[in-house]
A and B are shown apart, each in its own frame.
Chain A
Amino acid sequence: MSTSPRPYRLLRNLNAKIASVPMILTALVIFVGGTAWTVFYSFTDSKLLPRLRFVGLDQYERLWSTGRWLTSIENLLIYGVLTLIFSLVIGFLLAVLLDQKIRFEDTFRTIFLYPFALSFIVTGLVWQWILNPEFGVQNVVRSLGFTEFVFDPLYDPDIVIYGVLIAGLWQGTGLIMCLMLAGLRGIDEDIWKAARIDGIPTWKTYIFIIIPMMRPVFVTTLVIIMSGIVKVYDLVVAQTGGGPGNASEVPAKYVYDFMFAAQNLGQGFAASTMMLLSVVIIVVPWAYLEFGGKRRG
Chain B
Amino acid sequence: MADLTKGPRGAKPRKILSRRNIMLYGILFVISVYYLLPLYVMVVTSLKGMPEIRLGNIFSPPVEITFQPWVKAWAQACTGLNCDGLSRGFWNSVQITVPSVILSIAVAAVNGYALSLWKFRGAETFFAILIVGAFIPYQVMIYPIVIILREIGIYGTLWGLVLVHTIFGMPILTLLFRNYFSSVPEELFKAARVDGAGFWGIFLRIMVPMSLPIFVVALILQVTGIWNDFLFGVIYTRPDTYPMTVQLNNIVNSVQGVKEYNVNMAATLLTGLVPLIIYFISGKLFVRGIAAGAVKG
Contacts and interface: CB of A to CB of B under 8 A. Distances in A.
Contact, chains A and B (beta carbon distance below 8 A): yes
Given A15-B200, A20-B111, A293 B124 contact: yes
Contacts of A265: 143
Contacts of A20: 110-111, 114-115, 120, 123, 126
Contacts of B27: 97
Given A23-B174, A223-B175, A121 B57 contact: no
Contacts of B116: 3, 297
Contacts of A125: 252, 264, 268
Nearest to B14: A101
Interface stretch (B63-71, B77-85, B182-190): B182-190
Interface centre among B9, B114, B183, by most chain A C-beta atoms within 10 angstroms, is B9
Interface in A77-128: 94, 96-102, 105-106, 108-123, 125-127
Contacts of A202: 10-11
B76 interface: no
A30 B152 CA distance: 13
Contacts of A96: 10
Interface string B73-96: 000000000000000000000000
Interface string B165-187: 01100111011100100110110
A45 B172 CA distance: 34
A140 B128 contact: no
Give the most central of A185, A233, A291: most B CB within 10 Å: A185
A5 to B, nearest CB: 5
A292 interface: yes
Contact of A275 (B25, B137, B249, B252): B137
A65 interface: no
Interface stretch (A55-63, A157-165, A279-287): A279-287
Interface in A174-217: 174-175, 178-179, 182-189, 192, 202, 216-217
A31 B1 contact: no
Contacts of A216: 1, 179, 182-183
B192 interface: no
Contacts of B265: 126
Interface in B92-134: 107, 110-111, 113-120, 123-134
A129 interface: yes
A70 interface: no
B37 interface: yes
Contacts of B13: 101
A190 B289 CA distance: 21
Given A34-B145, A115-B38, A136 B58 contact: yes
A129 B27 CA distance: 26
A101 B8 contact: yes
Q: Chain A binding site: helix, strand, loop or mixed by DSSP? A: helix
Contacts of B113: 19
Contacts of A255: 137, 139-140
A109 B252 CA distance: 30
Contacts of B239: none
B1 A110 contact: no
Nearest to B248: A121
B4 A186 contact: yes
A233 B137 contact: yes
A244 interface: no
Given A102-B28, A121-B245, A122-B268, A170 B34 contact: yes
A27 B129 contact: yes
A112 B31 contact: yes
Contacts of A3: 116-117, 119, 182, 186, 189
B290 interface: yes
Given A125-B268, A185-B290, A27 B118 contact: no
B221 to A, nearest CB: 8
A128 to B, nearest CB: 11
B124 A291 contact: yes
Contact of A187 (B9, B176, B271): B9
8 contacts: A5-B118, A13-B118, A22-B166, A27-B130, A97-B28, A227-B135, A255-B139, A259-B142
